[in-house]
């Protein structure tokens, strides 16, 4: 990953989440920003091209925090909060600690969005969460 002194340090877990193969948003942007020659497929993006797209997208991403709630066999999600671009550095730096201090002991899903486009998601079992029986709501 490119390092620039004017950019925040990005933990490996977050960089991999955004640029890995599980969530292809950044890779697709990098791939489709390349010119296409008649009769040929676009080449897969290089690491540098992926880095460029990461640094275009990540600073403008917003975050939505959701709590997983299970009722019988049904799993649903309750919105806990939203964070605007640049307003969640503590989440990036120490996600489990931040989520515990902000929302308590829960199973939390964090979704990243580029405007209205879904980018990626990650789940956290916060504060020693072990089962839905641990939730305050039941």
Distance between CA atoms of residues 106 and 34, nearest Å: 42
Q: What is the pTM of this model?
A: 0.85
pLDDT of 70 over the 80 cut: yes
Is-contact 58 29, C-beta < 8 A?
no
Grade residue 6 by pLDDT with cuts at 50, 70 and 90.
confident
Grade residue 79 by pLDDT with cuts at 50, 70 and 90.
very high
- Model confidence pLDDT, tens digit, residues 81-133: 999 999 999 999 999 999 999 999 899 999 999 999 999 999 999 877 565 55
Question: What is the DSSP secondary structure assignment for residue 106, as one 8-state letter?
Answer: S
């Amino acid at each position: 990953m490119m390092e620039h002194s004017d950019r925040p340090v990005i933990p490996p877990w977050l960089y991999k989440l955004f640029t890995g193969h599980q969530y292809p948003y950044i890779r697709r942007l990098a791939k489709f920003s390349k010119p296409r020659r008649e009769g040929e497929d676009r080449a897969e993006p290089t690491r540098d091209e992926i880095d460029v797209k990461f640094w275009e997208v990540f600073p403008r991403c917003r975050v939505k925090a959701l709590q997983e709630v299970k009722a019988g066999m049904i799993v649903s999600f309750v919105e806990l909060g939203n964070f605007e671009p640049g307003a969640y550095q503590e989440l990036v730096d120490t996600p489990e600690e931040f989520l515990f201090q902000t929302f308590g002991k829960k199973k939390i899903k964090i979704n990243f969005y580029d405007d209205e486009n879904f980018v990626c998601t990650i789940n956290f079992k916060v504060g020693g969460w072990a089962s839905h029986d641990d939730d305050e709501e039941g």
